[in-house]
């Protein structure tokens, strides 16, 4: 590279000699562009795209860590400063991940550096689980030194060993091979015969999957059913050739979707490629993991409670191509595979794929984009697809694959609705169990079956109120009622974690008789134990599952038959496959129905379908009893007859009427501040900026865009974690137009100090 051809740097920059290399750096800030820097001579060999660098940035040129996203020798038009340091030995990101994250930054409207910083695990950045080592090698020209150096016998011994090696040797190993201390090695270095090199070795024990022996492994693959064969005939060709092909696999619970994922994975692994499987965190049960490990070798499981060293170890193992199948929750979509052949997103409708912190991405949507960028097939699977994916399949964006029946012609369980308005207990009080459900439990248990009960609310009582003055105990920081937890004798806010001891008397009127009302899983557990004293009952919710391993223990006790009744929150609704469960009871199907959220009906339908799917999985069949105050609500009535198609049709009609997704794209802006007035004033200023922005966007684009702006309004939960919150909903049929308007409007009005603006693209949280 000719040195003179490129400009020198201004004096302000402390670089010795001419600079002819530049790099682009993004920082962990909400900025929409990269910054150019010069690369000093000393860092030329080290700098690379995908490594982190330290560079002067922002006010006061503070040395700041960022990601290098470009290297080139074309000088930027402006004067630039120089990077000070390169932090990583190897790039942390593959070219594919760089492209994917670039897209995420654009689409989710956040900084590229923010995305990169979020997706590279801390354990990778800190090189947790590795140890720095010193390697020694001969200076290449000194292999046959002339004249031969004068060396002592010890030094000569070290020299001879080094001369025999093809690779550099770790310093301690060299000393032990040469049976010497550090001194002779140092002498060789001082004489210019040998040199030091920096290296790193893995220092973490990864939990290696217990590899079942080959015989059991292969024998577990069943012969496909005719329906599965039908689906396979459409999948297989797509796996054999390159190309982005999205599939939506809708198969009722127990129809054998997992079996098809496994076949597809085996196929791409056979081709020497890797497969990536996303599942919701709560479905990452030992059973699910065993299904993959039983059929594939070299499976890495990425769950959220990995230690950072383990996570780092997995990441490096994946990056070096040592893993064939990656199974994990949302963030596993960023696994640094080299040669990806397939992505599977199981339970694609699950809300937990959406991340509720910057970058606010949806794991399924990012998965589809990744498949698109890598030009590979992707399978989205669900018994109850999200209406977004369903709509995409309807209009031909995705290929629809269907498994209409359970394997071995097992019937879907019979679902009976219990109208809580009529099915009342003789004592006229509201119990967790209606008389019908109690009788059904008696019968199921008597016949040796097991029972699952769903109550999607944890704690003991879900609100505490004073019958005298009507006061309801609220969180100090949120407009939300506190939940009483009897285990810990504490009142708690489920949103911000605020805790306070239960009040002796009403804090408002002083009356002594505060009432603990509403039923959570803790209260239900007590009722069940008193009604079925001879049965083993276990509760599964995030309170009782705090300790590591508790999840596995409870499920094992249930599988072995030691536990008769398993009750819990949605944790028990998903993915469990226990053939002996002959009864599922839903304590209150209406809980999620009346939330101020356009997806509440969809979520209710999905949850009911999921939990109903937990029964009738064995030869003994099974039934479901659903307690509700609104048996005629379509989400409940249609879930009871397992009619996804009619549900989707009805729900889509409503969505279309109200301009909600999937017909329109939705962006939610949340403005929050501790000072209500400042937050409100900013919301108004932002509102005023939309008009001109829409106009400008319309002028700039060829096709006229339309946009509906709802707000500013108080958010449904106005006070949350001590902040006052206002929000906007922006709806348009064009995602590009929405983005364009926001790009024009938001930089024009920056929030004042103490006020924050959150842009949530395709929002899920509507509170």
Report what 259 binds from ligand ADP, Zn ion, none; CB cut-off 5-8 Å by kind: ligand ADP
Q: What is the nearest approach in angstroms of ligand ADP to the Cβ of residue 271?
A: 23
Name the nearest CA neighbour of 453 among 350, 361, 365, 570. 570
* φ and ψ at residue 673, rounded to 5 degrees: -160, 155
Nearer to Zn ion by C-beta: 552 or 674?
Answer: 674
Which residues, other chains included, contact 562 with Cβ-Cβ below 8 Å and sequence gap of 6+?
536
Q: What is the nearest approach in angstroms of Zn ion to the Cβ of residue 508?
A: 19
Q: What is the nearest approach in angstroms of Zn ion to the Cβ of residue 491?
A: 11
Terminal Cα-to-Cα distance of the chain (whole angstroms): 58
Nearer to ligand ADP by C-beta: 228 or 461?
Answer: 228
Torsion of CA 315, 317, 322, 324, to 10 degrees: -30
User: What does the block give as tokens for 400?
Assistant: 């629809």
Report what 498 binds from ligand ADP, Zn ion, none; CB cut-off 5-8 Å by kind: Zn ion
Nearer to Zn ion by C-beta: 232 or 477?
Answer: 477
- 583 lies in the binding site for Zn ion (CB under 5 A): no
92-111 b/e (C-beta count within 10 Å ≥ 16 → b)? bbbebbbebbbbbbebbbbb
**Three-class DSSP category at 134:** strand
CA 400 vs CA 245, 376, 396, 418: distances in Å: 11, 17, 8, 34
Q: Which residues, numbered 486-525, are part of the site for Zn ion (CB under 5 A)? A: 493, 495-496, 498
Q: Which stretch binds Zn ion (CB under 5 A): 178-186, 221-229, 472-480, 506-514?
A: 472-480
Sign of torsion over alpha carbons 305, 311, 317, 320: positive
Nearer to ligand ADP by C-beta: 449 or 518?
Answer: 449
- Report the relative pairing of strands 52-57 and 62-72 from DSSP bridges: antiparallel
Report what 84 binds from Zn ion, ligand ADP, none; CB cut-off 5-8 Å by kind: none
Binding stretches for ligand ADP (CB under 6 A): 222-225, 228, 251, 253-259, 407, 577
Q: What is the nearest approach in angstroms of ligand ADP to the Cβ of residue 557?
A: 20
Task: Give the largest CA-CA distance in the chain.
Answer: 106
Per CB under 5 A, the list member of 478, 555, 573, 671 interacting with Zn ion is: 478
- Report the relative pairing of strands 450-454 and 414-419 from DSSP bridges: unpaired
Report what 477 binds from ligand ADP, Zn ion, none; CB cut-off 5-8 Å by kind: Zn ion
Name the nearest CA neighbour of 343 among 284, 280, 397, 276. 276
Q: What is the nearest approach in angstroms of ligand ADP to the Cβ of residue 707?
A: 40
Count residues contacting Zn ion (CB under 5 A)? 7
Per CB under 5 A, the list member of 477, 598, 663, 718 interacting with Zn ion is: 477
- Report the relative pairing of strands 274-278 and 325-328 from DSSP bridges: parallel
Name the nearest CA neighbour of 310 among 211, 203, 199. 203
- 475 lies in the binding site for Zn ion (CB under 5 A): yes
Separation between Cα atoms, residue 126 and residue 569, nearest integer Å: 37
Q: Are 14 and 42 in contact (CB under 8 A)?
A: no
Show the site string, 139-168: x = touches Zn ion by CB under 5 A, - = not: ------------------------------
Q: What is the nearest approach in angstroms of ligand ADP to the Cβ of residue 221?
A: 9
* φ and ψ at residue 185, rounded to 5 degrees: -65, -40
Nearer to ligand ADP by C-beta: 609 or 766?
Answer: 609
Q: What is the nearest approach in angstroms of ligand ADP to the Cβ of residue 412?
A: 12
Report what 678 binds from Zn ion, ligand ADP, none; CB cut-off 5-8 Å by kind: none
Separation between Cα atoms, residue 761 and residue 624, nearest integer Å: 37
Distance, C-alpha 424 to centroid of its chain: 42
Q: What is the nearest approach in angstroms of ligand ADP to the Cβ of residue 408?
A: 6
Name the nearest CA neighbour of 441 among 624, 591, 639, 640. 624
Q: Tell how many helices (H) and how many strands (E) occur in the chain.
A: 21, 31
CA 500 vs CA 288, 457, 506, 514, 720: distances in Å: 38, 19, 14, 15, 17
Nearer to Zn ion by C-beta: 468 or 496?
Answer: 496
Residue 75 DSSP label: P
Nearer to ligand ADP by C-beta: 101 or 228?
Answer: 228
Nearer to ligand ADP by C-beta: 401 or 583?
Answer: 401
Nearer to ligand ADP by C-beta: 258 or 483?
Answer: 258
Report what 475 binds from ligand ADP, Zn ion, none; CB cut-off 5-8 Å by kind: Zn ion
Report what 253 binds from Zn ion, ligand ADP, none; CB cut-off 5-8 Å by kind: ligand ADP
Q: What is the nearest approach in angstroms of Zn ion to the Cβ of residue 758?
A: 18
Q: What is the nearest approach in angstroms of ligand ADP to the Cβ of residue 263?
A: 10
Report what 664 binds from Zn ion, ligand ADP, none; CB cut-off 5-8 Å by kind: none
Residue carrying structure tokens 């820097």:
37
Nearer to ligand ADP by C-beta: 351 or 579?
Answer: 579
Nearer to Zn ion by C-beta: 371 or 481?
Answer: 481
Nearer to ligand ADP by C-beta: 259 or 590?
Answer: 259
Q: What is the nearest approach in angstroms of ligand ADP to the Cβ of residue 215?
A: 18
**Three-class DSSP category at 353:** helix
Under the rule (CB under 5 A), what is the footprint of Zn ion?
A: 475, 477-478, 493, 495-496, 498
């Amino acid at each position: 590279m000719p040195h003179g051809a490129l400009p020198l740097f201004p004096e302000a920059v402390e670089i010795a000699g001419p600079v002819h290399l530049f790099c682009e750096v993004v920082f962990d800030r909400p900025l929409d562009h990269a910054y150019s820097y010069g690369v000093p001579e000393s860092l030329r060999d080290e700098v690379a795209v995908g490594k982190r660098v330290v560079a002067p940035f922002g006010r006061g040129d503070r040395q700041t860590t960022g990601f290098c996203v470009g290297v080139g020798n074309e000088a930027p038009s402006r004067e630039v400063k120089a990077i000070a340091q390169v932090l990583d030995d190897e790039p942390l990101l593959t070219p594919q991940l760089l492209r994917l994250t670039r897209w995420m930054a654009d689409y989710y409207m956040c900084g590229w550096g923010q995305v990169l910083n979020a997706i590279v695990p801390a354990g990778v950045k800190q090189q947790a689980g590795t140890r720095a080592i010193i390697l020694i090698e001969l200076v290449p020209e000194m292999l046959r030194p002339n004249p031969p150096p004068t060396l002592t016998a010890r030094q000569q011994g070290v020299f001879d060993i080094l001369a025999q090696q093809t690779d550099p040797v770790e310093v301690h190993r060299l000393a032990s091979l040469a049976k010497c201390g550090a001194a002779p090695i140092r002498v060789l270095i001082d004489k210019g015969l040998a040199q030091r090199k920096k290296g790193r070795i893995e220092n973490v024990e990864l939990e290696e999957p217990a590899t079942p022996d080959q015989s059991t492994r292969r024998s577990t693959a069943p012969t496909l059913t005719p329906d599965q064969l039908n689906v396979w005939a459409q999948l297989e060709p797509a796996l054999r050739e390159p190309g982005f092909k999205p599939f939506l696999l809708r198969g009722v619970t127990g129809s054998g979707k997992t079996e098809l994922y496994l076949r597809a994975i085996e196929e791409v692994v056979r081709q020497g490629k890797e497969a990536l499987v996303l599942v919701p965190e709560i479905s990452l049960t030992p059973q699910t993991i065993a299904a993959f490990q039983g059929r594939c070798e070299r499976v890495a499981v990425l769950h959220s409670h990995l230690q950072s060293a383990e996570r780092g170890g997995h990441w490096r193992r994946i990056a070096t191509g040592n893993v064939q199948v990656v199974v994990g929750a949302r963030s596993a979509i960023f696994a640094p595979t080299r040669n990806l052949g397939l992505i599977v997103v199981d339970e694609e409708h699950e809300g937990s794929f959406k991340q509720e912190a910057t970058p606010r991405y949806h794991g399924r949507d990012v998965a589809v984009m990744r498949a698109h960028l890598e030009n590979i097939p992707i399978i989205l699977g669900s018994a109850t697809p999200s209406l977004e994916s369903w709509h995409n399949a309807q209009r031909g964006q995705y290929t629809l694959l269907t498994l209409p029946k359970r394997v071995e012609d097992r019937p879907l369980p019979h679902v009976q609705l219990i109208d809580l308005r009529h099915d009342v207990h003789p004592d006229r009080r509201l119990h967790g169990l209606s008389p019908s459900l109690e009788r059904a439990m008696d019968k199921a248990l008597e016949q040796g079956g097991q029972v699952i009960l769903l109550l999607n609310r944890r704690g003991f009582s879900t609100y505490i109120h004073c019958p005298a003055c009507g006061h309801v105990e609220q969180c100090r920081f949120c407009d939300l009622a506190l939940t009483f937890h009897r285990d810990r004798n504490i009142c708690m806010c489920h949103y911000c974690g605020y805790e306070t001891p239960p009040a002796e008397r009403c804090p408002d009127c002083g009356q002594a008789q505060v009432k603990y009302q509403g039923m959570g899983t803790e209260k239900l557990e007590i009722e069940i134990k008193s009604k079925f004293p001879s049965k083993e009952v276990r509760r599964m919710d995030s309170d009782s599952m705090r300790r590591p391993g508790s999840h596995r223990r409870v499920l094992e006790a249930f599988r072995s038959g030691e536990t008769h009744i398993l009750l819990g929150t949605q944790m028990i609704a998903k993915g469990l496959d226990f053939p002996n469960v002959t009864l599922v009871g839903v304590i209150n199907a209406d809980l999620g129905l009346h939330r101020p959220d356009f997806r509440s009906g969809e979520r209710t339908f999905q949850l009911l379908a999921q939990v109903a799917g937990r029964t009738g999985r064995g030869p003994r069949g099974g039934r479901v009893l659903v307690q509700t105050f609104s048996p005629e609500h379509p989400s409940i009535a249609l879930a009871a007859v397992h009619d996804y198609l009619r549900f989707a049709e009805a729900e889509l009609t409503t969505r279309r009427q109200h301009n909600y997704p999937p017909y329109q794209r939705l962006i939610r802006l949340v403005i929050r501040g501790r000072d209500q007035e400042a937050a409100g004033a900013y919301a108004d200023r932002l509102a005023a900026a939309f008009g001109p922005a829409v106009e400008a966007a319309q002028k700039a684009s060829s096709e006229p865009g339309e946009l509906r702006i709802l707000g500013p309004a108080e958010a449904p939960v106005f006070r949350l974690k001590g902040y006052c919150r206002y929000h906007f909903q922006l709806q348009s049929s064009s995602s590009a137009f929405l983005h364009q308007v926001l790009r024009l409007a938001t930089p024009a009005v920056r929030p004042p100090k103490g006020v924050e603006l959150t842009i949530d693209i395709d929002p899920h949280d509507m509170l």
